[in-house]
Chain A
């Protein structure tokens, strides 16, 4: 049987929970802190790094055209570093989520859904 035909808002006994209470519980506050303290600074970081790259490519042509070795110039290296940082942040986030977010979320979820099954 599927649960998909019911929109979340009208699902079932889950609604009997006092959501505000759960939201204020220490476990949940900690989960939210772990999520936000990772994703907000990281989002700020990669956006600033990306904008720095865009501005350099846009207003510092001479600098970006400087050749470092062979025909590889600083602009190309900067561009490739954007790839590297994207892959790195992705990996860091997955590690953080698996280790620090998933278990905490699962614990709260089990407590809430426990009454249901």
Chain B
């Protein structure tokens, strides 16, 4: 540890202290399940929009994309474009209809007109699977960041810090529930966007506020596409696969879907998505400057070799610009980002377990005690937190934007087809939902396990290690890193086949669901205290 580390830790501690106070204050009115899991549905559209941006602009967006652009140039830019355009799926097809037909989870929407228990079990399974992948990415980011900021290079030391991050996150979720978590997201989103804006202006000021001049001072190869994905036919296909997973994944991310339930009406859900789109789009424009700025001012090679690797581009840029103080501030923001997103994921996964599995499957919707659902959600949050800590220690060192892309592939395959069919297709039924969710999830996970991500990438000369998760073995047979191009169409197909091969029809329930979805009749209202 050095004096920088002390500074970094102090700044971060201030953030934790402030947010904890906010969380504790926010939790005072939290009593019912609607309070705990959906913040009493009392947030306004703009507030929720900022919180969505907070949930969405994860460490992957900030550290991962800036790093990808700094090292891989233009190919990194695709991440931000895919992540942004994806919001149109959520805005046009999902947000409002979902708000009108559910309570807390994706399972609610499916259960509306299908056989409750099997579809809720399926929805909870895929919710937890996506959350787990996403959590892994965030925790891995925490490890890399620590390596850079605190000078902790030993795996043991990093593991301790990952555990601390996990424990803090559990505390937020236990104390604050959805309301507290939402406030943490809002604070973090404001800090993150402010921090990135300051750095962007700073970078541009060094180049006379001329983007062209900035681009002129990075290596020519970074400006054109193809550096990362253009080498072979396979890698080009991987790029298409990634692009598909990004654009179709967002509207299937459970922690984003759940945010639509924290506002009082569908119209507020729409407003929140609009706010989110402007904030997220604006932020990605900043990361473009930050990425190329890091390439110009720090240098791609130095970034690749730094502890924390690609993910360290933004912090290194901060150090190059404003010395240890700016580094400390940006590092604290990055930590806050990870913490907030992990809290959002944890509450989503625990809500799904408590609401779908415990309240509706085990207790069949007949809870003897109204607080039982909240109690179960809290306990689940602890378990998920512990799993996330363990997973994060294992995934430490992987590129986070890339791990998140895998979570998107799972979301786009296992969740999106079912959500869209359920909202728009009259004939859709239980069997179709089960085929699509379990089939999509199974295929995606299978392809990832047997992809080069897990095993079989060539050993890099510089580091002496393979870029795969498991070293020294090679059992991959699926050529692409991202399974989206195969798993997403297959999941849509499975949903279709499962539906038409089953005799179950539910036109009456669909009539009710469609009327409710489009008009908001009888939708869950805000709770009043």
Chain A contacts to B: CB under 8 angstroms: 1-5, 7-9, 11, 14, 19-20, 22-23, 28, 31-32, 35, 38-39, 42-43, 46-47, 50-51, 53-55, 57-59, 61, 64-65, 69-73, 75-76, 79, 82-83, 86-87, 89-90, 93-94, 97, 102, 105-106, 108-109, 112-113
Measured CA separation A69–B370 after assembly (Å): 64
Contact B224 A8 (CB under 8 A): no
A69→B87 CA distance, assembly (Å): 31
Interface residues on B, range: 35 or more
Task: Give the residue name and chain of the B residue nearest to A72 (CB).
Answer: B212
Nearest A residue to B237, CB-CB: A58
Docked Cα-Cα span, A109 to B84, in Å, equals 33
Min Cβ gap B37→A in Å is 10
Residues of A within 8 A of B38 (CB): 4
Nearest B-chain residue to A67, judged by Cβ:
B223
Residues of B within 8 A of A106 (CB): 519
Q: Which residues of B contact A102 (CB under 8 A)?
A: 267
Interface residues of chain B, those whose CB is within 8 Å of chain A, are 32-34, 38, 40-41, 74-75, 77-78, 81-82, 84-85, 87-89, 91-93, 101, 103, 108, 112, 210-213, 215-216, 223-226, 229-230, 236, 239-240, 243, 247, 267, 270, 274, 277-278, 281, 284-285, 365, 370, 507-508, 511-512, 514-516, 518-525, 527-528
In the complex, number of A-B residue pairs with CB atoms less than 8 Å apart: 179
Given contacts A9-B112, A32-B518, whether A83 and B285 have CB atoms under 8 Å apart is yes
What is the chain A residue whose CB lies nearest that of B215? A71
User: How many whole Å from A95's CB to the nearest CB in chain B?
Assistant: 11
Residue pair A22, B370 in contact (C-beta under 8 Å) = no
CB-defined contacts of A113 to chain B, threshold 8 Å:
521-522
> Is B239 within 8 A of A14, CB to CB?
no
Distance between Cα atoms of A20 and B505 in the complex (Å)? 14
> Contact at A4–B101, with CB atoms within 8 Å?
no
Contact for A23 among B81, B103, B270, B514, CB less than 8 A: B514
A12-B520 Cα distance, complex, nearest whole Å? 15
User: What residues of chain A lie closer than 8 Å to B284, measured between beta carbons?
Assistant: 83
Compute how far the CA of A4 lies from the CA of B88 in the bound complex, rounded to whole angstroms: 29
Complex: chain A residue closest to B85, CB-CB: A50
Query: Are the C-beta atoms of A105 and B520 separated by less than 8 Å?
Result: yes
